[in-house]
Chains A and B, each alone.
Chain A
């Protein structure tokens, strides 16, 4: 049979253990909440950087195709390879093609011209906007194909 003092000691130890466990669980849950928020922020940053990269790659592809074709429709055909897009023509002669890059991002390609004595300089504006219409990324490129005879160009 155990003595009453041993029983009290065991009881105190057991209580101390439970108090410690409660403190540990409390602290651990607070720390976990903070750490999980940090992981969520990292995930959001990674998604944002992937989105920026995708936009830059798509803009680069469009610019490269356009510099070789100087035609907005051909650029869209080659860029989208058969996927649907919306075509608009404006009274000032500029043309616009828009399509969705993903569920949140809309891409707009707008072509305009500057007339020079040798021929037109065609300009393609590439812009990416979110659902609210805010511009996320934009760039411009141009292609000059003179109307008169020009020997084959060699770009390096």
Chain B
């Protein structure tokens, strides 16, 4: 048997290029898919964040509008314990009144979205009002709901 006939040829053999190409293309495809999904998720997050900012300030404007309405009524009265003032405020939708010994506290909620609201409170005494609360609160009970997961039974 002649040994020189069994010698493998030097250099790259048939098939190696295909394998290398498949590997490189697979790697590039995975990187491209990962980068696209990351960029897409980032854009979704930015859109939601921007949407929330717009919703928050629109709700803040509405809360200020309600405050202006309340203050417009209050401007006509010198005594905040006046029953007409109280009844006028009570006629406004969503108002909560709390009568304190020397003042009156009015609270209301302005929805930001279906989960959150701006909770506002003003206290009238003497010559005008003091804002006692102006903060974002959760209005839905999503936090108290248990997660729908298998309990192991």
- B-contacting residues of A (Cβ < 8 Å)? 6, 10, 13, 16-17, 20-21, 23-24, 27-28, 31-32, 35, 38-39, 41-43, 45-46, 48-50, 52-53, 55-56, 59-60, 63, 67, 114, 116-119, 121, 123, 137-144, 146, 148-156
Contact = CB atoms under 8 A, between A and B. Distances in A.
Contacts of A156: 133-135
Contacts of B14: 13, 16-17, 20
A49 B43 contact: yes
Given A20-B18, A52-B50, A137-B54, A45 B36 contact: yes
A59 B57 contact: yes
A150 B9 contact: no
Interface residues of B, number: 54
Contact of A118 (B42, B58, B72): B72
Interface string B12-35: 111101100100110011001101
A45 B40 contact: yes
Contacts, number: 159
Nearest to A23: B18
B124 to A, nearest CB: 10
Interface stretch (B63-71, B79-87, B89-97, B143-151): B63-71
B113 interface: no
B54 A118 contact: no
Contact of B43 (A52, A123, A150): A52
15 contacts: A24-B18, A31-B28, A35-B28, A35-B29, A42-B35, A42-B36, A45-B36, A45-B40, A45-B42, A46-B39, A63-B57, A144-B71, A151-B128, A155-B131, A156-B134
A140 B56 CA distance: 9
